[in-house]
Structure formats: structure tokens, C-alpha cells
Amino acid sequence: MRISIKLKTSVFLAALLLLTVVVISLLVLRGIQNNQRTQVEQLLAQQASMANTYLLQSLTAESNKVPETFIASKGADFGKKLEDISGLTVELYDADGKAIYKNKSGVVSEGIGQTLAYALKQKTAYLIEDDSLYYLTPLKVANEQVGVVQFYYDLAANDAFYHEIRQLFVYIGAGTFLLSFILAYFYFNALSGSIIKLNRTVNRIREGSYETAGMKRRDEIGELGEGIRMMSERIRQTIRDKDDEREKLKLAVDKLSKLDQQQKEFIGNVTHEFKTPLTSIKAYLDLMDMYPDDEALLETAKTNIAGDTQRLYEMVEKVLRLSALEKYDFEFSKEKVDVRQTIESVLGSLQGKIDKFGLRLETNLAQASADADRDSLTIVLMNLLDNAIKYNKPKGSIRVSCAERDGQVVIEIADTGIGIPQAVVHKIFEPFYTVDKNRSRENGGAGLGLALAKKYAEMQGGSIALLRSDAEGTTFSVAYPAWGSGESL
């Protein structure tokens, strides 16, 4: 059974205060008793000395200076005068213990008789009976005992004073105890409350709740509370960091899994794309071996083998370039590039291919300068324009425009081609993905152009996006930081 620290503190405090009050009261009362006894003893001792002095003075004034004769003949007068001088009740006995003054009957109590016998041996003694004190001391002349004088002292006044003081101590002690207990209770209650609060805080931390409040105390408990609060914050931060690291690790594992899957798909796609032209080349070689004299076959085979070889070469080049971009962090030679001039240069190199497919070219090129790598921008434009040519409709058109707006140079390339279904729009920038597999093979496409273009654009701080795709064709947008806009890679 667990006992609260408040209860323990209260009980201990009450016991400690009660013990303190009782001990102090007993010690003080004992001191009062001892002081009263000492004062009475001193008073009676003075009276005894005075009695002996007065006896000598009385003998000096007498013609008969025999002490025994004086005590026997004038003892009653001596005792009365001694009573007047001392202010105390006096009884006088001779050397044989016979009563001379006051108690002439000679009847004494057993206690007084024993005390008298002791005093007759030249020793001072006293006896206390109820509220009365009987002090018996020898009367001496020249060290010879001639009798005993007894002083009676009433202790009622002393006892009354003692009882009054004791009663006062009871009241004062009780009041002091209650007041001290109440004040100390509130103080120790606050102290215990702080300890209980710390205990609850520790229990919450144990249960996983790290929200703690500071304690407004400027002592060791306050320092302990602040230490627990800081420890709680440290634990919470450590757990938060651990959760962040675990989340990062999970993301890294997911990314590795995704990269592993992409790598497998990449290898599979490479193998598949390479296999098609190689199969065609092998087939034509077999036919050439079978019909070495067929000139038409030889001419057709040479043309197709050359086309497939060129396709393989282009695929290998693009695969190596894409792999290098993903593996290495290249430093591009960014400079002020005249975008209009670069577009015109790329269109000039593709003009023969445009004419071959009978396409109409429309341009709207504003003067603009981009902060980019000239060769990389050329690769991006070549891939986008090449796709616009290969996947266009017969007698279709290509529209190219560029303009500078909002700190960027925006290039738009639109065609009237086959379009891209909305269901696969999110895949068009993946390597080896093509919308129309048959047409890609016919035109030598392997689905690497858009992936390369996206990599080159983003690595220079640019972006590429599909703006429109429907039955009327597609529109791609390329954006690069304008020269002097303050943006850089």
C-alpha cells in the first residue's frame, strides 16, 4: 500500500512539532522547579546563618554566657525574636532534641523526628510534607552544637506559581503547535505538491508524453524540475529525429526499390529495343547468304541494315548519355544564350526532315536571352522537334514560339500529330516509353528523347512540361531562367 508523501509529511511534521513543544515545556518547567528550590534553599540557608549570628549577639549581651543556660532560660524569647526577624515560623530545640519554643508538647511527626535526629548531628536537613517545608539547621557556638532551629516555609505559593506556569505552557504550547503546524503544513504541502508534480511528470514521460511545464521555484526542486523538462525536450527531440531518420530511411528504401524496378525495366527495354534491329540485321544477312546473286535483295538489305545500324547507334548514344546524366553531376557552361538564334539553327538542321514529311513550319520567335548551356539547350530542342516531326500527321504542321515573361524564357513547340492519351501522360518522360510502338520502330524512335530532354532542362534550372495533348496534337513547353534574372543552377 503506497502512502502519499503529503500524509507522511503531515504526520511527521505534527509528531515533530508536538515532541518539540513537549520537550521544551518539560525542560522549562523543570528549570522553574529547580530555580524555586534553589531560591528557597538559599533563603533558608541565609536564615540559618542569621540565627547563629543572632545567638552569638544575644550571648554577648548576657552576663551568663553559657549557651545551654541561655537556651534553657531564654530560648522562648530568642525563638520569638528570631521569628520576628526572619518573618518565618520558627521552632527551637535544645541539644537533646527537647522542644523549647512553639512545640513545647514535644510531639512531632515521624518525618520531623527523623529529620531532627539528623540535624542534632550538626547537619542541616529539610523535610517536605504536602505544601510545607521544614528546614532544620544546628545552632552552634564555637563549633559546639547547642540546639536546633526549625524554619517552616509554606510552598503553596510556589506550587501555585508552578501550576499556573504549567497551565500557561499548555495553552501557549497548544497555540504554538497549531500555528506552527498550519504554517509549516502549507509550506511543506507546497513542497510535497512540487515533488508530486515531478513524479507525475516522470510518469507521463514513462508513458510517452513529453509535454512538460516548468516549475516556478528557485531552489533545488526547481532546478530538478527544469532538468526533467530539458531532459523531456531532449528525449522528444531525439525521438522526433529518430522518426525523421526512419522516415528518410523508408523513403530511401522505397526509392531504392523503385530504382531497382526501373533498372530492371530499363534493362528489359534496352534488350527489347536492341533485339528488334539486330533481328532485322541478322535476317537480311541470312538472306544475303542464301541469295548472294540477287542484286535487288542485296540493295534492299544494305539499305535496311544501314538504317537499323544507325538506329542502334543512336539508341546506344542516347542510353549512354542518359546513364551518364543520372550517374554524374555535370558542370554546365552556362552563358548568355540567344534563344531565337539557337531555335533557328536547330530548325535549319532539321529542315530536310521537315520537307521529307511534307510538314508546314510556323514560327513566332521573339528576341530573348537565356542563362543556359548552349549545347544542352540544343539537345533539348532537337529531341522535342524530332518528336514533333516523327509523330506528326502527313501534311501536318509544327508551330514554334519563344518569349520572355516573368523572369523566364518560355519556348513552346506544338504539332498536329497523333497526340498522347491522358491515361499515359504521366509516363511520357520515362525512358523507353513510347505511345505508339509500331510507329516508333518505323521512325527509329526508342522512347529516350523526352527523358533526355527533361534531364538536360532540369539540371540547368529549367523545366519541361506537356501543355496540351488531344486529337489535334500536342504542345510542349520549355522554360529556362532569363539572362540577368538572378536565378542560377
Give per-residue pLDDT as tens, 365-421: 999 899 888 887 888 888 888 888 888 888 899 999 999 988 889 999 999 988 887
- 80-114 per-position pLDDT tens digit: 998 888 889 999 998 888 888 876 555 678 888 88
**∠ CA 424-429-433 to the nearest 5 degrees?**
65
Average pLDDT, integer, range 197-206? 75
Residue 489 reports pLDDT greater than 60: no
Contact present, 126 and 101 (Cβ < 8 Å): no
Q: Which of 137-146, 288-297, 316-325 has the lowest mean pLDDT?
A: 316-325
Cα gap 139→370, rounded to integer Å = 138
Least Cα distance to 24 among 214, 169, 165 occurs for 169
Amino acid at the residue 142: A
Residue 351 reports pLDDT greater than 60: yes
Most confident of 186-195, 209-218, 234-243, 342-351: 342-351
Say whether pTM exceeds 0.75. no
Helices (H), 129-218: 156-207
Residue 275 reports pLDDT greater than 70: no
pLDDT at 440: 44
Amino acid at the residue 408: Q
Q: What percent of the chain has pLDDT over 90?
A: 12
Most confident of 74-78, 105-109, 197-201: 74-78
* Rounded CA Rg of the chain: 63
> Which three cell numbers, joined as nine digits, stand for 135?
528546614
Kind of pairing, strands 473-481 and 463-470?
antiparallel
Contact present, 17 and 184 (Cβ < 8 Å): yes
Cα gap 164→15, rounded to integer Å = 26
Average pLDDT, integer, range 173-195? 78
More confident residue, 346 or 329: 346
More confident residue, 363 or 193: 363
Residue 263 reports pLDDT greater than 80: no
> Which three cell numbers, joined as nine digits, stand for 29?
518547567
pLDDT at 459: 77
Provide the strand spans (E) within 324-470: 334-338, 360-365, 369-373, 397-405, 408-415, 463-470
- 417-447 per-position pLDDT tens digit: 888 877 677 677 776 555 554 444 444 444 5
Contact present, 369 and 339 (Cβ < 8 Å): yes
Cα gap 112→105, rounded to integer Å = 14
Rounded to the nearest 5°, which phi and psi values hold at 212?
A: -130, 150
CB under 8 Å to 428, separation ≥6 — which residues?
420, 435, 450, 466
Residue 462, helix vs strand vs coil: coil
Cα gap 454→460, rounded to integer Å = 10
pLDDT at 318: 58
Question: How sure is the predictor about 322, in pLDDT bands with cuts at 50, 70 and 90?
Answer: low
Q: Which of 124-138, 244-258, 271-285 has the lowest mean pLDDT?
A: 271-285
Contact present, 152 and 132 (Cβ < 8 Å): yes
